[in-house]
Chains A and B, each alone.
Chain A
C-alpha cells in the first residue's frame, strides 16, 4: 500500500529496540497512573477496615466482604438514587435528541431568512459555562414551582442542546438531498420526511449524541446539589456525597457506592468505547 511498508515491517518484526522498550515502559507506567486509583477503589469496596487500614492495603481482598454492597444499596439508598439518575438522564437524552435534531433539520435543510443568525446564536451557547446562570435558572424554576426531576431535566437539556445541534448538523450534511426529494414527490409531507427519512438515517449520530448527553447528565453535580432539596429526587452524584458524610469511618460501603455509581458508565464504555471517544472528540473538534 504505502511505499514504506517494507521499512515499517522491518521496524516492527519483533526486534526489541531500546526506544521501543522505553516507549512500552512509559505507556505501561502511565496506564498504571490512570488505572491504579480505580483498582484500589474496587478492592477496598470489598474489604473490611482492618485490611484497608494496614494488613492488606493494595492487594486483592483476603475476605471478600460483599455485604459492603448491600449496606451501600440499602442504608445508602443507592437504588433510589440510581433510578433517579436514570430517569433524569433518560428524559434529558430524549428531550435533547428530539429538540436538537428537529432544530438542526430546520437550520440545515429548510429555507428561510435568518437561519444563519439563529444557528450562530445556538453555537454561542457552547461557550456558556453551565454554572454561570445557576441563580437565574434556580429562580425561574422555583417561580414555576418545578422542584422534582424536571428541575434537572430542563437545564440539562438546555445546556446539552448547542453541542447536540452541532453534532447532528455535521452528520445531517452528509445525508443526500435526493432522498428527501424522492420522498417529497412520493407525497410525503415535511414531517414525514423528517420522521421516516432523516431520523432513521441519523441513527449512528443519535447514538453518539445520546452518549454525549448521558455523560453530562449522569455526572453533573452542581445543579443536582442545589436544585433538589427533596431526597426523593436526589441523583446518584449527590447521593454519594451524602453517603460519604454518614459513613466517614467505614470505608467499605463508600467504596461500594462509588463502584455502583461508576458501574453503569463503565458498562456502557465497555460496549461503546469507540463511540464514546468519537462523540467527545466530535464535540470538541468542531466546537
Chain B
C-alpha cells in the first residue's frame, strides 16, 4: 500500500501501476476522483440499469395496485364511470415509480459495494485513518499475478509516495 498526499499523485500512480501490468489493485481517497475510473480501468457500473428496472417495477406495481383495488377488490361505481379510470391513477403510479427507483438506487448501491462490511484489511494500516481526511492510497493486492513482494514494494516506492506499507490480511 502506497500513500500519497494529493489526488494527482494517486491518479498518476494508479496509471503507472496499470501500465506496469498490475490489475488487482484498488485506490482509496477522501473525495471521489473521476479520473481514477480511467486510471484503474474500472468498468461502468450496472447501477443505472438496476434503477431503471426498479422504476419500471414500481410503476407497474403502483398502477396495478390502484387498478386492482378499484376494479376487483373494492369496485365502486361512481355515475357509471369506468372502474379503471386511469388518469386518476397517474399520481400514485408516479410516486411508486419514484419510490421503486430510489429504493433500488440506495440499496442497490450498498449491495453492489458489498457494504456494510464490518472488517477490511486496509483498516489494519495505521496511516489509513487519514484516508477519510487528506491522504490518498493505492493498494496492489498479493493475489495479483505480477505481485512479487520486494519488486512491488520497490515499484511503489518509485511512484513518489509519502510512504509505503504492508497490509496485514
Q: Do A and B bind each other?
A: no
What residues of chain B have their CB less than 8 Å away from a CB belonging to chain A? none
What residues of chain A have their CB less than 8 Å away from a CB belonging to chain B? none
